[in-house]
Amino acid sequence: MKFISTTPNEERVSFKTAVLNGLTDNGALYFPEEIPQLPDSFFKNIEQLSDHEIAFKALKPYVSDDLSDDDLDWILKDALNFATPVKHIQDDTYVLELFHGPTESFKDVGARFMSRCLSRFEKKSDKEITILVATSGDTGSAVASGFFNVDGVKVKILFPKGKVSPYQERQMTSLGNNIKAIEVDGTFDDCQKMVKEAFNDKQLRQQVELTSANSINLARLLPQMIYYFLAYKQIKATLGNKELVVSIPSGNLGNASAGILAKHMGLPIKRFIAAHNANDTFTQYLNTGTYSSKPSVLTFSNAMDVGNPSNYERLAHLYGRDLKAMSKHISAATISDEETVQEMKDTMASTGYLLDPHGAVGKLALERSLQSNELGIFVETAHPNKFQDIIVMAVPDHPITETSLDGFHKLSMDNDYEQLRKILLMS
Ligand SMILES: *Cc1c(COP(=O)(O)O)cnc(C)c1O
């Protein structure tokens, strides 16, 4: 399997090259040249397969040029060693919980898969790889944990000072060793801009082997497909003659793109809903046919505060930039902060289930759209513990755990690229 650019050029690269490059030569995203099909028998007998076998069969066609069966086997055993349960909430509504990994967001699988791929790829040189990422929260936590103590890999995480939740900050800064969390006196956009500057710094890159682990990386995107295969395995017997709809709280549309890819491999999910907060560039696009990015605004579901969702380009490429074709498989909804908090309250009152703000956006979007001949699953993308300030507001009776930030490892720097450059060269 080769990977090509979403903005066509001559490039046709292997999985390994796509992962190490991050972005294509013309600054676009990598996408599979063709989407492999799984046979009907795979879906017919999916209950008989172990989760590991399902993950292996789904991913093998994408990676087999660069990873042996033994490598993939080892990577998946290590990357996917926690549960992804589907639970009943009410009526025809179910939840897929993707927060049982070490840092309690769905990003754990992608980060763990990518780090283990890097450690299995044949090395170009003896140089250590430096992973450089900017984060607004969950990516940093997942990358820190996923790459912790991985041989030959050093990690530098830039996060905006005072703008991630205390819980997320603790997850990023508590590990130490090969993981350096760097707080920047600036915004997430400033962090992102410095990361880009480092990647464009040719002189720096001769000395430091830089790789990105942002969600645009294929090694983070592809394993997320597995969630939807495993959800189908769990819900299949309950479906009867209803059709399955999945609602995904979305920011950069990485998780949603992975679900759509799984559908194109044959997975019987009728349609997806991309559930957005006020950052609704994608909802607007589906409504108007015009894609127009805008600056992000801060919301209660802050991991989805993205004004220019990077994976839109992958979806557009997949559907040949045909809005009608895309709309058959995916719709979008916009949920406000007020509605989010109300949904958390209502769900707690009627079912006793504690939603996190992202899951609340997903659930409300699902309930607004679900038809009587459909069964719906919304995705819980993070554990409510990560967003205690919102929980306190929405469900004040719920017990919370204290987070102390004392004694953790972090560097601090100004919003100044030269400082970052020094850090990258020296440590
Ligand atoms: C990253 C994140 C999202 C958004 O996922 P995308 O793949 O960027 O659409 C949603 N919820 C939580 C909790 C996240 O951490």
381 CA to middle of ligand 1, Å?
6
- Say how far residue 222 (Cα) sits from the centre of its chain: 10
pTM of the model: 0.92
The pLDDT of residue 409: 74
Q: What is the average pLDDT across 322-335?
A: 98
Backbone angles phi and psi of 371, in degrees to 5: -95, 165
99 CA to middle of ligand 1, Å?
11
Residue 44 has pLDDT above 70, yes or no: yes
Distance CA 69, CA 54 (A): 14
Residue 299 has pLDDT above 50, yes or no: yes
Instruction: Determine which residue's CA is closest to atom 8 belonging to ligand 1.
Output: 252
Q: How confident is the model at residue 105 (pLDDT cuts 50, 70, 90)?
A: very high
298 CA to middle of ligand 1, Å?
14
The pLDDT of residue 367: 97
Q: What is the average pLDDT across 118-132?
A: 81
Q: 304 and 251 in contact (C-beta within 8 Å)?
A: yes
pLDDT, tens digit (0-9, with 9 covering 90-100), for 239-255:
999 999 999 999 999 99
Q: What is the average pLDDT across 268-278?
A: 98
Among 29, 104, 105, 145, the mutation site with the greatest number of ligand 1 atoms within 8 A of its Cβ is: 105
Q: What is the average pLDDT across 67-95?
A: 96
Residue 165 has pLDDT above 90, yes or no: no
- Distances, alpha carbon 366 to alpha carbons 155, 217, 332, in Å: 37, 28, 10
Residue 107 falls in the annotated catalytic set = yes
Residue 399 has pLDDT above 80, yes or no: no
* Alpha helices in 289-370, H assignment, sequence order: 312-318, 323-329, 337-351, 357-369
The one catalytic residue in 16, 107, 156, 363 is 107
Of 389 and 58, the structure prediction assigns the larger pLDDT to 58
> Quick one: 426 exposed, middle or buried, by C-beta within 10 A (0-12, 13-18, 19+)?
exposed
Q: What is the average pLDDT across 391-416?
A: 75
Residues with C-beta less than 6 Å from any ligand 1 atom:
105, 107, 138, 215, 249-256, 303-304, 358, 381-382
Angle at 286 between CA 283 and CA 291, to 5 degrees: 85
Q: What is the average pLDDT across 394-409?
A: 66
Q: How confident is the model at residue 407 (pLDDT cuts 50, 70, 90)?
A: very low
Residue 402 has pLDDT above 70, yes or no: no
